[in-house]
Amino acid sequence: MLDKSREAALLGVQIYNNPLISFRTPGYIVQMIIAHTALFHAVFERNGVSYWYNKPDGSPEIIDGDKRAWDITKCLQEYYPTRTLPEVENLRAMIAIRNKIEHRFVPQLDALFSGKCQALLMNYEQILVKEFGDYFALGTNLALALQFSAYSTDQQAVLRKAQSREYEAVRSFAEQYDAALDPDIVKDLRYSFRAFLIPKIGNHAKSSDVAIQYIKYDPDKPEEMAEYEKQIALIRDRQVPVANLGMYKPSQVATEVSRRTGIKFSISNHTSAWKLYEVRPRDKKAQGCDTQYCQFDEPFQTFIYTEKWAEFLLQKGRGTIRARAHSELP
């Protein structure tokens, strides 16, 4: 049952991330509901809970020769003690949407339900790991899907016009469903996941380690979120070569040391430091530079300093702080 559950979830993600499939959201939702149902059945089986429908006389209901197992709605009622949790409402919403779109073909619903689809997968993963451990997590099998840009406004208008009755029926249903819920549930990321993908421009080595950064949706900052929504759809970061990446000018070294130690460290102090530790020549030339700390920039005829040099000075500054604290002890 656990294998079936994971396979159904991975198949749902495969369907959703396939740019050649138009029946993406409905296909994904169907597979994820199968995944949740099998996952709940696996939990009940392990816990010794009978998850079968019975007749009034107590005998099991039989369908096509097999006992009738609990459906997803019954599983939800048994697994969760309350129906007001965001993850419960997310799954209940997806069940309702599945029932609504089961006999419809409305490709443009992808954007309408993308947040709920993402939350559905994250909630599934949380139950999976909670009940059966990290070994079964899907995280090692999944990566961020790379998709083409979303439909243009004109393309969306054409699709909606061609299937206006179907689209409006489902959209209206989704809006009414959300309106009936507690606003705090609707805003919760476990009900509908919201994130922005921001292109990162790396000025230092550490800031360019991750190509994509998630910015959490904050409903308490509507103006800021509206600005993101206006400017961002889905952006792939383009790495642009940057000369002297991760290097510092003397003034930047001084500022960093002052900020991170709390000790005033001036350009004059920096000059004294490179002279004391002989990290560079006094003349403007590359020969004589201790390259782990300093390099000579030929086009600009100046010296630039490494992160390691800044860390070296920070260690010296912390040593000064410790010595000062020790001398002040009674």
Q: Output the pLDDT for position 223.
A: 73
User: pLDDT value at position 59?
Assistant: 86
Q: Are residues 156 and 206 in the same domain?
A: no
Q: Name the more confident of 197 and 244.
A: 244
Instruction: Place 7 in a pLDDT band, splitting at 50, 70 and 90.
Output: very high
77 and 130 assigned to the same domain: yes
pLDDT band at 145 (very low <50, low <70, confident <90, very high): low
Q: Clarify whether residues 56 and 177 are in a common domain.
A: yes
User: How many whole angstroms separate alpha carbon 3 and alpha carbon 104?
Assistant: 30
CA-CA distance, 67 to 69, in Å (whole number)?
6
Continuous segment of H or E residues that includes residue 224 = helix 222-231
Are 293 and 309 within 8 A, CB to CB?
yes
Cα torsion 118, 124, 129, 135: sign: negative
Q: In this model, does residue 211 exceed pLDDT 60? A: no
Beta-carbon-side half-sphere exposure of residue 265 (alpha carbons within 13 Å): 25
More confident residue, 7 or 164: 7
Instruction: Answer whether 98's CB lies under 8 Å from 6's CB.
Output: no
For residues 178 and 276, state if they share a domain: no
Q: Choose the most confident range, by mean pLDDT, from 63-77, 238-252, 309-323.
A: 63-77
pLDDT at residue number 36: 95
Confidence bin at 70 (pLDDT 50/70/90): very high
Contacts of the segment 92-95: beta carbons below 8 A, 24+ positions apart: 93/174, 93/177, 93/178, 93/191, 94/29, 94/32, 94/33, 94/120, 95/33
User: Which residues are CB-neighbours of 152 under 8 A, at least 6 positions away?
Assistant: none
Q: pLDDT above 70 covers what percent of the chain? A: 65
Distance CA 174, CA 181 (A): 11
Q: Which pair of tokens denotes residue 241?
A: 């070569």
Statement to judge: residues 138 and 60 lie in one domain: yes
Last residue of a domain, one of 242, 271, 302: 242
Q: At residue 147, what is the residue type? A: Q
Average pLDDT over residues 302-319: 86
Output the CA angle 31-33-39, nearest 5 degrees: 105
Query: Are residues 214 and 322 located together in one domain of the fold?
Result: no
Q: What is the pTM of this model?
A: 0.53
- Tokens (6 digits) for 173: 């249903």
pLDDT of 30 higher than 60 = yes
Own/partner pairs for 129-135, CB < 8 Å, 24+ apart?
131/39, 131/42, 131/43, 131/46, 132/2, 132/42
Range with the poorest average pLDDT among 24-28, 119-123, 207-211, 320-324 = 207-211
Q: Please, which residues bridge with residue 213 across strands?
A: 198
Examine the domain organization and report whether 98 and 227 are in the same domain: no
- pLDDT at residue number 72: 92
Most confident of 93-97, 140-144, 316-320: 93-97
Domain co-membership, 108 together with 136: yes
Residue, of 213 and 248, whose pLDDT is higher:
248
Whole-number average pLDDT of the chain:
76
Q: What is the pLDDT of residues 259-285, one digit of tens each?
A: 887 888 899 999 999 999 999 998 888
User: Do 24 and 173 share a domain, yes or no?
Assistant: yes
- Structural domains in the chain (count): 3
DSSP 296: E
256 and 231, same structural domain? no
Tokens of 186: 């609707």
CB 27 within 8 A of CB 51: no
Contact 297, 305 (CB under 8 A): no
**How would residue 316 be classed by pLDDT, with cut points 50, 70 and 90?**
confident
Q: Which segments within 138-255 are labelled E, that is strand?
A: 195-199, 212-216
184 and 52 co-located in one domain: yes
The DSSP symbol for 197 reads E
Domain with 202, as residue range(s), is 194-242
Tens digits of per-residue pLDDT, 287-309? 888 888 998 888 788 899 988 89
Residues 59 and 107 in one domain: yes
